[in-house]
Structure 1
C-alpha cells in the first residue's frame, strides 16, 4: 500500500511531458541558424567571374569561415583553408581529422592551381586543421605560429614546407606582400558550461599534434591579422572579432575582410571600440564579412549563418550595416565558392 509521502514524490505526468517538450523546443531553437540570408539577398553578387583575370587585378573566392583565396592570375595565396568541416556531433563527441577527398574536391572546385602560400590566423581546428593537407596537395608553403607548425609536423608536413612568421616582417609571395599583425581572438564564451578560453598555463601547441585528436587539442597559439599589398591595392584580413588597440593605425586599406562572429553578443562599448579600431581606422571602400557561417555544415551545400547556440548573425549584420551606411562603406557578402574581382 502506498503512503502519502510516496505519492507526493511520484512525478506528475503532465509536468514531466511539458518539461520534456520545453527542453526539445529550446534545443531545436539553439540548433537553428541565427539569421535568414534572404534578408540580405541584395548584398550577394550572385555571380562568379570565370573569365581570365586581367593583368593587375585581384580575384577573391570565399571558401567559408575565414578561408579566403586571393589570385592575381599568376599567384594564389590562401588564408586558413578549413575545408573538411566535420559535423557538430562528430566535433563534440569524437576525434576529428582532415578528410582528404573533401579537401581535394574543394581544391578542384575552387581551381586552386597556383597556390604558393597558406597563412593561418590561429590554431583552433576551424582554421588550421586542414592547412597541412592543403599544403601537401598543392605544394604550397604553410606560414603560421609555432602552434600551427606543430599541427603541420603532426600531419606529416615537411619542415622545409613550413615557415614561422614574424609579426611586422613583410613576406613576399609573387607580387603579394603580406605583413602579419598581432591581434586577439574573439572574447571567450561558454556553451553547455564549456569555454573556449585559452588556458594560460598551456597557451600553445607545444609538440607535434598527430590526428585524429579532439577539437579542444587545437589550442589558439596566438591570433593574427594579415595586411596584404599588391601594387597600389591594399587588403586586410581580420578573422577574429577582437582587436589590439592602435595595431591598425597605419593599415589604410581598400578592402577589409572582417570577422563578425559573436559581435552583437559583446557589450555595447566593445562593439563600438571594435568598429572604431577596425573599420573607422582602416577606412576601406569595401567590407566583406567573414566567419559568419555554420562551419559544421559542408561546403557542398549553400552556407547558412552560425547557429543560435553561439551567435546572432541577424544582429551582427544589422550593426555592421547601420555603422557602414553612416560611414559610406560598401558591404558585400559572399556565398561559398562565390568569386568576385576586388580591383
Structure 2
C-alpha cells in the first residue's frame, strides 16, 4: 500500500468502468505499489454512540481488483463488484474480442476471497463487474442489489428473482444492526470518443443465459455508500470513472473508492467529484489494474491508466485527503490502514 498522508486532521464524516477503449498512456505506477506492510500504523479507533454497531475497528476491507471490494463489518460481509475469475479478452494485448466467452466461475477463488456474503452490490452489468455474481449469489444465498438490467441478466443465469433487489438511485436501504446502504445514481466512464463498450439496458431476461461478454450490456450505472453504524466508517464505492454530480453532492464518506479515469472525456472529473463528496479524508484509486491477470498474483498496473495523474489531482484539489493505493494481498482496517 502507498499511503500519502497529510498531517492536517479531518473530523469523522456522517452518513453517505471504466471505458473499454482506453485513453492516453501514463507514466509508470509501480513505485506506488507496496513492498511490505510491516510496521504500519494500526487502525484508529473512533468513539461509538449507543446505536452504532459495530465499532470501526471491527470493519475490514480487501480490494478484489478492478472496482471490487470485500467489506467485513463484524461477522457480516458485503461484496461490491466481485470479479474474481479473471480471463483474457485481448483487452490488454490490443486485440479486444467482444465475442469472448464468459469463463466458468472458479469456486476455489470464491471460497478464498468472497467468504459468506450477506450482500452483493453491483454497479453495472459489464463482465468485469458481474461475471462471478450469479455463482456467488446461488452458492451463498446473498442478496444482490443492482439495476433492472442486472436483475434480468441474473435471472437468465438462474438466480432466484426473489433474491435480487432492483434499485435506481436515491434509495437508502437499512439492513439492520447499523448496516445501511445508500444507492447513488451514477454514470459510466467514456473513452476519448465519448463512447464506451456495450451500452444499453434490458427490460426482460434474455431467452438463454448470456454466453459472451457482449451479452452483458452496461445497463445503467450505480454507486453506493455503505455505512457501518453511526460510529463506523462510511464508504463510497464507484464502479466507473464518471458520476452524477447532483446525485453525489452532499455525501460525506470517510473513504471514497475513486475509479481512475480512462480519458479526459469527463470535464474536471476529479475536482468535481472531490468537491461533491466534501473532500473525503481517505481517497482510494481503483480500476487501474490489469484485471486479466490472476488475482492471486501481484498487481499489474494498466499502463494506459493515469493513476499518477489522479493522485496528483487529489493532492492538489484536496490536500487534507490521505491517498491509499491498494494491493490485492493486504487487508485494511475501516480507515484503510493495514491490519497487522
Q: TM-score over 0.5 for the alignment?
A: yes
TM-aligned CA deviation for residue 204 of structure 1: 3.2
| Equivalent of residue 319 in structure 1, options 313, 321, 328 | 313
Contact 1:144/1:163, CA 8 A, preserved across alignment: yes
Structure-to-structure mapping, 1:1-343, within 5 angstroms:
35-41=27-33, 45=37, 55-57=54-56, 58-89=59-90, 92=97, 94-100=99-105, 102=106, 104-110=107-113, 112-174=114-176, 175-189=178-192, 196=196, 202-204=200-202, 206-208=204-206, 210-211=208-209, 213-232=211-230, 233-262=233-262, 265-266=263-264, 270=266, 272=268, 274-282=269-277, 283-308=279-304, 311-324=305-318, 327-343=319-335
In the aligned structure 2, how far is the partner of 1:342 from the partner of 1:67?
Answer: 16
Greater RCO structure (CA 8 Å; 6+ sep): 2
Aligned to 2:185, what secondary structure does the other structure show? strand
Higher helix content, 1 or 2: 1
* TM-score of the aligned structures, taking structure 1 as reference length: 0.75
Aligned to 1:150, what secondary structure does the other structure show? helix
Contact 2:88/2:292, CA 8 A, preserved across alignment: yes
Could you say which structure has the larger radius of gyration? 1
Contact 1:117/1:173, CA 8 A, preserved across alignment: no
Contact 2:80/2:122, CA 8 A, preserved across alignment: yes
In the aligned structure 2, how far is the partner of 1:185 from the partner of 1:172?
Answer: 26
Give the aligned CA root-mean-square deviation in angstroms: 3.2
TM-aligned CA deviation for residue 186 of structure 1: 0.4
In the aligned structure 2, how far is the partner of 1:47 from the partner of 1:186?
Answer: 37
Contact 1:69/1:79, CA 8 A, preserved across alignment: yes
TM-aligned CA deviation for residue 294 of structure 1: 0.8
Contact 1:43/1:333, CA 8 A, preserved across alignment: no
Q: Which runs of 5+ in 2 are unaligned?
A: 1-21, 46-52, 336-340
Contact 2:102/2:131, CA 8 A, preserved across alignment: yes
